[in-house]
Structure 1
């Protein structure tokens, strides 16, 4: 089965995130876009070379000194929705708080004495959430109206700590940078903490784990273009791009995928080129879509495993959309003759 839509070509979007946290815990300086995109204009189409845009040096993240009054909180992720300033800088401030409160060698923040109350206190000093009862509860962790907000914030703190470690480790192992260079962007790392962290990164067990995790990373269905704000920050941009494509008479290449989770995963791996007026993606995502379209056309209610970039695998259930293979075992399989066989969970 062919997937109807505009021409989809291989392409990548180049991001430079100096000191920015990536989307397992991503943070970006408020109001500043990181990296630079290489644009090919009409001159490129005619054969003439076009110089790529110069990369802008990203300013370091800074902890706010003024408080923001949050007027609206998202019902799904319990992060600020309004005002815009609070929504845009929330994860940025999460990262800043972690780096001034925890050390780069810390593990499992919630198990460290006084770490949770310290992190949450600083968060609520920056953001005044609706319903916060400061009169009766000086400690925000004891305010029951803040329970879901605090729980989500602690998850983001852990993500930010992991992302911080990943960035510093890459500079130590991949770039072989000394402490004198790393401390310029990470002033809270002391020489003693740096030496402990460096030794841990260079240990054989760490190298073995890193190799294993990189192998898992290669199973992903291509790099996404979400940036630091995730799906929530991109949906409004996607809507504008889809309107532009529709105005040009270009059909939606993902029109068949109506399950929100499926569509988000696939849309995050497409990029609208405002010059060429096409959706760009990579070969792995294109192959995944091809196999998923075949699956959709079968229309039978069972869980299937699709191998895209062997041994990359995803499951699809008629009611839940895409899920990693590890989250649910194959329940039934279809034999070459078309018969479904139960395999258990």
Structure 2
């Protein structure tokens, strides 16, 4: 195994009376990894009992089609979090991808031009994020939050105050419409797109040197720099890839809805963050992964669908979603708490953020 591969692997506690896991701790740690899959199974059981329509093939495939765009946004965010960052501007990238593609189709351009234009608009969001975070050293949370605000204004300026773009269905090229509303072997194109991108990113993170280097840059930045990795380039690439994937989700949205509505991409931001954090609970080290993120996405999709089928008021649905998310995270933290557990992945990100906040506060007090 190369030096990079060795350093990228999570550090295992050394055996001995101090660092060794007891049987009880190993059991609770394994239990914490089952919280998200157990919640998924519980949702399936509960709503299957409450609604006879819920656990049918047609309804389940409908749910997958509904969460396909959320899955794309969350997969892009997974790359950024794997690199040790966070991206609050994925909604902007998604919106600009939809805006550019719908705009170009409206003006009579071909389908491939519209898709390329949408991806380029989204790529610009990733480039700005990379510039602010990697070059100017602005914390990722603040940098992407700023891009979120700026991107919202850009949309309003480009659309004359936020006017939507509507596409006449007969004038939309078949090559563009099929991206969002077509079917491949009887499966919704949106599902096929989400599964395809998920597989590519999963392989990228799981079996390639790039994936190992990106993981190392996110979890062990000091070791990555010492080993000679170009951490800045790796982090920048994560933000660029995230923006492109979100932009593709925007293209799919425009093709699916025959148009563009300003700010529609923002609806996916919070759910994408929640799905990524839910997915991190299935990892022993709190490491985000494509598989874990998809579990989080499906949990949100099943919960939304089930609540609608049983007729729960819209005003109560966000409360139910929040309680489920909070319950999963709390259960994973309580069951997985162990003193010898190394801090990596999401846990390392949260610890680093807290440490930076305390350091900045201390510096301010000294001044």
Structure 1 length as normaliser, TM-score?
0.27
Question: Which is richer in helix?
Answer: 2
> RCO higher in 1 or 2 (8 Å CA, sep ≥ 6)?
2
When you count strand as a share of all residues, which structure comes out higher?
1
Given the two structures, how large is their TM-score scaled by the length of structure 2? 0.26
